[in-house]
A = this chain, B = another copy of it.
Amino acid sequence: MRPKIRLFVDQPLGAEQSVQLSRDHAHYLFGVMRQSVGVEVALFNGIDGEWRAVVDEAGKRGGSLRCVAQSKTQDVVPDLWLLFAPIKKARTDFIVEKAAEMGVRRILPVQTEFTNAERIRQDRLQAHAVEAAEQCGNTVVAEVAPLRRLDEVLRDWDPSRQIVFCDEAEAGGSSALTGGLATCGAVLIGPEGGFSDGERARLKALDHVTTISLGPRILRADTAAVAALTLWQHGVGDWR
């Protein structure tokens, strides 16, 4: 039987490997979930796949587990990044959760001209990405990058990574994303107010940017993020 509890640990996993529990994990496992010595838990660390591990020691402030057998090899996810402008808290959390669930490797919050957010809680967003991976059975955890200005991100961009720019002002539809794109890519979603004329002109002038529209209706930023990631995975990624 598959263990019901699945935890991300930042430690090596392997046969007979011992794993120390953090205070938070010990509180969750023994306090909240009422587990004890002998119970099996699934562990993953983003590198070594998923392992079944058995609880050896259980305490209020910590505990230890021992890896028994690998239950899943490490997943390889497509090389996809998401660039998005932070919006209201709940919807920003949602975008990170969904991107992590959909197998995005790296999530880059960007500050655009129409973005209100001047800072994000990077640690909290990273915790959301970990939680999404724990709950969805992924062995890969999306990395949340610090907030940076879009113009700086574009200035330092490696042009071999193709950007799919979702532009509300574009009339052409979504069909530009059906094929021919590099398998190393990124999706860029704007804030609720869209992009400025300057940002739009700069993006469209770049050879490594492909502009698409997500249909004739205005979508909220969180809906647009899931829709654009879907089209990329369908056309270029591992849903084919």
A residues lining the B interface (CB < 8 Å) = 75, 98, 101-103, 135-138, 173-175, 177, 213-220, 223, 226-227, 230-231, 233-234, 237-240
Whole-angstrom distance from the CB of A23 to the nearest CB of chain B? Answer: 29
The answer to whether B136 touches A218 (Cβ under 8 A) is: yes
> Using Cβ atoms and an 8 Å threshold, which residues of chain B touch A135?
220
- Cβ contact of A239, chosen from B102, B213, B223, B237, cutoff 8 A: B213
Whole-angstrom distance from the CB of A239 to the nearest CB of chain B? Answer: 4
> Using Cβ atoms and an 8 Å threshold, which residues of chain B touch A215?
102-103, 233, 237-239
The answer to whether A217 touches B174 (Cβ under 8 A) is: no
The answer to whether B218 touches A238 (Cβ under 8 A) is: no
Q: What are 12 A-B residue pairs whose CB atoms fall within 8 Å in the complex? A: A102-B217, A102-B219, A103-B217, A135-B220, A136-B219, A137-B217, A138-B217, A174-B239, A214-B230, A216-B239, A227-B227, A234-B234
The answer to whether B223 touches A98 (Cβ under 8 A) is: yes
CA of A217 to CA of B135, assembled, Å? 11
> Using Cβ atoms and an 8 Å threshold, which residues of chain B touch A217?
75, 101-103, 136-138
**Residue among A214, A219, A230, A237 with max Cβ neighbours from chain B (10 Å):** A230
